[in-house]
């Protein structure tokens, strides 16, 4: 069995197969796969006996349910007002410069994706960002370079198995 199909079947067993279990299942796939492929969405529709268009419609509504292939680490930098006032742009430039990608892109090795997001709820410690589910606050260009180099080290130490 295709590993994604198996994952979807397991998630459906765990959460249930009614419509109100759709979001946890979509989230479960994104957590493992980092995105929802067309194949995943069709499989979920089949598993839950829903029209594929309904699954697609729901999935694409939510900004954390990516439907484009993403890197292993998704960097989401907050661009809402306080973070933007407190130097978000300089931090963003530092990341772009270090990873050689622009917002919306993924590094060629598939390790990092860089996105902007709306208010993360850390306005008192702005600017803030998420890397997957980890929060980093009070960012400066220096601090963000340090954080990323830790992730880069992790990557070198091999985690190839977790991709």
Query: In the structure encoding, which two tokens stand for residue 1, read together?
Result: 């069995």
- Measured from the CB of residue 53, what is the shortest distance to another protein in angstroms? 12
**Does residue 80 bind another protein (CB under 8 A)?**
yes
**Does residue 52 bind another protein (CB under 8 A)?**
no
Nearer to another protein by Cβ, of 83 and 148: the residue is 83
Using CB under 8 A as the binding criterion, the count of chain residues that bind another protein stands at: 36
Contacting range for another protein; rule: CB under 8 A; set: 2-10, 17-25, 93-101, 104-112: 17-25
Contact characters 26-45, another protein, x per CB under 8 A? xx------------------
**Does residue 92 bind another protein (CB under 8 A)?**
no
Q: Which of 32, 84, 90, 107 binds another protein (CB under 8 A)?
A: 84
Instruction: Transcribe the chain into DSSP letters.
Output: --HHHHHHHHHHHHH-SSGGGHHHHHHHHHHHHSS--HHHHHHHHHHHT--HHHHHHHHTTSTTS--S---SEEEEEE-SHHHHHTTHHHHHHHHHHHHT--TT-B-TTSSEEEEEES--S-GGG-S-EEETTEEE-S--HHHHHHHHHHHHHHHHT--GGG-
- Measured from the CB of residue 133, what is the shortest distance to another protein in angstroms? 4
Contacting range for another protein; rule: CB under 8 A; set: 89-97, 104-112, 132-140, 152-160: 132-140
Instruction: Transcribe 100-138 into DSSP letters.
Output: T--TT-B-TTSSEEEEEES--S-GGG-S-EEETTEEE-S
- Total residues found in the chain within this entry: 163
- Measured from the CB of residue 83, what is the shortest distance to another protein in angstroms? 9
Q: Could you list the residues that contact another protein (CB under 8 A)?
A: 18-24, 26-27, 57-58, 61-65, 79-82, 84-85, 117-126, 130, 133-135
């Amino acid at each position: 069995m295709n590993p994604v199909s198996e994952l979807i079947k397991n998630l459906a067993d765990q959460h249930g197969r009614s419509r109100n279990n759709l979001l946890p299942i979509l989230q479960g796939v994104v957590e493992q796969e980092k995105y929802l492929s067309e194949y995943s969405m069709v499989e979920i529709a089949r598993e839950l006996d829903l029209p594929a268009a309904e699954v697609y419609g729901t999935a694409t509504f939510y900004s954390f349910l990516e439907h484009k292939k993403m890197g292993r680490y998704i960097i989401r930098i907050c661009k809402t007002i306080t973070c933007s006032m407190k130097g978000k742009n300089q931090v963003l430039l530092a990341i772009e410069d270090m990873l050689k990608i622009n917002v919306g892109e993924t590094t060629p090795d598939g390790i990092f994706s860089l996105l902007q997001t709306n208010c993360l709820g850390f306005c008192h410690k702005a600017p803030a960002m998420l890397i997957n589910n980890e929060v980093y606050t009070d960012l400066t260009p220096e601090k963000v370079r340090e954080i990323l180099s830790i992730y880069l080290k992790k990557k070198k130490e091999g985690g190839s198995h977790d991709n």
